[in-house]
Structure 1
Amino acid sequence: MSRDVARAAAQWLALLESGAATERDHAALQHWRDSHPQHEQTWQKAQTLRQRFSDLPQALAMASLDRPQPGRRAVLKHALGIAALVPTAWLVSRQLPIEVWRADLHTATGERKRLPLADGGSLQLNTATAVDVDLAQRRITLVDGELALNVPGAAAMSVHTRYGELRVSQADVCVRQLAAGCRVSVLKGSVHVRDLNGQMTTLQAGQQAPLTASGLAAWVPFDVLQLGWREGVLTAQNQPLGDFLRELERYRPGVLRWDSRLEGLRVTGSFRLDDTDRILSLLASTLGFEVQARTRYWVTLS
């Protein structure tokens, strides 16, 4: 929650700094600040940070009045752009765990990676994921995000999370970090799960369960289509549009907002994650809403 709030505050700050904010944007910002105490607290931190960096742009602006050559204007514009981005980037980075920055492997928002393993298996990283890998110990640590691990042989690999450990051999498993735990989905074979209390449980193919600080909860069957990201596809079967957009947000940098009246519309189809702008265009033409793009990173659906 804190990271999402920090990103939102940074994006609001960037919009205000751009000079393109309308009265409607200001009203939306006020609504966001009023909707949760943490929003207002984070916004005040952003404002304090904004003031802390305000001296540099002013000094550069004064210098440009004495030397109005076109070349210096271009340099000034570039410098002002950097100065405006500094507090935004710093604000977001302060909310990210240091482990994310130190992790062995990363994916950016919207990026996915597949890494072959020596035994013929594979490790896949979904969007905005960070992992540590110790192949000598056959150990993977999920720091943040979502991974899929295929281990075809009998030699087990372990997946460590903040909420417990998985032992994977002759199995396929997906693990997704959530706000207060992990979601473990077994696609093939069986996976042994040890929670923080040392309790061991086995999940079989087709089973999914949340792993939290309290242990592994009861499993439920899951639809393998929800793991289509491994093939670069996001699939929906009569899914509420709001739920679909919240999933799509994970693959888009910047801000995606939509009118609450769109929440209940229904989506069916398979969409390539390589072009999320096209996904929005297809949905708009099918469901009859408008896509308003202030920039590539600030999109509103109405």
Structure 2
Amino acid sequence: MDGRETSQAIERKAAQWVARMDRGPLDGRQQEELQRWLSGDARRRGAFIRAQALWHRPDVIANATLPPELCRQEPARGPASPRGIHRPHRAPRRAAPAVRRGLAALAASILLFVLVVASMPMPVAYATAKGEMRRVPLADGSTLTLNTESRVDVYEEERRLRVRVRSGEVFVEASGSGEPLLVEIEGLRLRAGAAAFVVRKLDGQPAQVVVQDGEVGLPAPEGAVNALAAHQRGSWKTASGRIEVASLSADQMQRELAWREGKLAFHGERLAEAAEAFARYSDVRIVIPDPRLANASITGLFAANNPAGFSRAVADVFGADVRQETSREIVIVPED
């Protein structure tokens, strides 16, 4: 035995790398480790490409058919025709021995890939519907509170918890027991000991982290911001990769966390923006067709699940009319 790595071991390692990459972006150390592995045995890069193809397009293998040039024909003589002319009888196409061996090897690779993936730690998904709020306890004593239309995946890897925020708004209360809690958002991995913070990923808005208590570590380059402290908000600019940090007053923090009490807090936002905020919590739409009214600013605390009550309050303040056009639409217009 020369100690050379077996093909099966290479296929297994390639499948592990592909499954790991699907769970989230690799950090710098992991990228270097992957490149070192790929630059070793010449068979590794091919195994890695095959594993990626199987992971992303299993239907290609399931629906594959043999091209004619990979099959051979074995003609046989049929019975003589009335004129004494023999006509060739086409036998069914059968794969040549080399092709059969290749297919057997491919089937073994697929089976190995499935076994490797099946052994990987799978996440537990939690989600909320529109208008719903949910509290999720974690194994280490931490808790997650999911706001309306939010989704997270929770992984338990080597006794360490990792939370991937896929969408919505989540309040994280990290217990600080044992290893730091890992929270992923937009490819960024946050680390938290004993801390309480909001992770936000809403359509059309930059990803944000708002820290109420404790400190949240950031994977920032050397010399940049590497942690967010209490009463700070970090906003990720996807295009540049920069993190904009803002300090928040006590009143601002209260507005940031108002949703945990089922409220929406506004302080100078446009009415059109307020209407969009209510749309996250209810199927009833608030429509403000008049541009001047839509651009008027609003300040106040309102129940998130009561768009009708908000509309009536707006009408009283701005001297407008409220029209319930349908069960799913409320229209606010200036008085005639």
- The answer to whether the superposition gives a TM-score over 0.5 is yes
Matching of residue 228 in structure 1 with residue 273 in structure 2: no
Other-structure match for 1:249: 279
Q: Is the 8 A contact 1:233 1:271 kept in 2?
A: yes
8 Å CA contact 1:163–1:211 kept in 2: the answer is: no
**TM-score, normalised to structure 2's length?**
0.53
8 Å Cα contact 1:209/1:216 also seen in 2: no
Q: State the match for 1:138 in structure 2.
A: 161
| Alignment match, 2:173 | 150
Question: 1:106 aligned to 127, 145, 161, which one?
Answer: 127
Q: How does 1:20-169 map to 2 (within 5 A)?
A: 104-135=125-156, 137-155=160-178, 156-169=180-193
Change in 2 beyond 3 A, CA 1:287/1:255: same
Match in the other structure for 2:28 = none
SS in 2 for 1:140: strand
Count of equivalent residues? 201
For 2:144, the aligned partner's letter is: L
SS at match of 1:176: strand
Identity of aligned residues (%): 28
Give the structure 1 partner of residue 308 of structure 2: 277
2:297 aligns with: 266
Bigger radius of gyration: 2
Letter in 1 for 2:217: H
Asked if the contact 2:308–2:330 (Cα under 8 Å) also holds between the matched residues in 1, the reply is: no
Letter of the aligned partner of 1:243 in structure 2?
E
2:235·2:243 contact (CA, 8 Å) conserved in 1? yes
Q: Which amino acid aligns with 2:279?
A: E
Instruction: State the distance in 2 between where 1:196 and 1:218 align.
Output: 14
For the aligned residue pairs, the C-alpha RMSD in angstroms reads: 2.7
Query: Are the counterparts in 1 of residues 286 and 307 from structure 2 also a CA contact under 8 Å?
Result: no
Q: Quick one: distance in 2 between partners of 1:150 and 1:246?
A: 28
Give the secondary-structure state (helix, strand or coil) at the position aligned to 1:128.
coil
Q: Deviations over 1:132-162 (max 9, x none)?
A: 1124531111111111101132432111122
- Counterpart CA distance in 2 for 1:257 and 1:103 is 38
Gaps of 5+ in 1: 1-101
Unaligned runs of 5+ in 2: 1-122
> Relative contact order, CA 8 A, sep 6+: which one is greater?
1
Cα separation, partners in 2 of 1:244 and 1:196, compared to 1, 3 Å? farther
Q: Which residue of 2 aligns with 1:56?
A: none
Deviation at 1:251, TM superposition (A): 1.5
Deviations 1:191-213 (CA, angstroms, capped at 9, x unpaired): 0112599x872111111121244
- Secondary structure of residue in 1 paired with 2:131: coil
Cα distance change, pair 103–248 in 1 and its aligned pair in 2 (3 A): farther
CA distance in 2, matches of 1:167, 1:133: 15
Q: Shift in Å at residue 227 of structure 1?
A: 2.1
2: CA distance between counterparts of 1:239 and 1:200? 29
Structure 2 residue aligned with 1:26: none
> Does 2:258 correspond to 1:237?
no
Provide, for residues 259-286 of structure 1, a one-character-per-residue CA deviation record: whole Å limited to 9, x for no partner: 2221333323211223232222232233
Deviations 1:198-234 (A, max 9, x none): x872111111121244334230123111221011111
Structure 2 equivalent of residue 37 of structure 1: none
What CA distance in whole angstroms lies between the structure 1 residues aligned with 2:259 and 2:205? 22
Compare the two structures and name the one with the higher helix fraction.
Answer: 1
Instruction: Provide the TM-score with structure 1 as the length reference.
Output: 0.59
- Residues 55-88 of structure 1 deviation map (CA, whole Å, 9 limit, x = unaligned): xxxxxxxxxxxxxxxxxxxxxxxxxxxxxxxxxx
Matched-pair contact (CA < 8 Å) for 1:235–1:268: yes
Distance 1:143 1:288, change over 3 A: same
What's 2:49 paired with? none
Q: Equivalent residue of 1:282, what SS?
A: helix
- Which of 210, 227, 238 in structure 2 is aligned with 1:185? 210
Does the C-alpha gap of structure 1 residues 252 and 266 become closer, same or farther in structure 2, counting only changes over 3 Å? Answer: same
Deviations 1:165-200 (A, max 9, x none): 111111111111143641111111110112599x87
In structure 2, C-alpha distance between the alignment counterparts of 1:289 and 1:251, rounded to whole Å? 24
**Mapped contact 2:176–2:192 kept (Cα < 8 A):** no
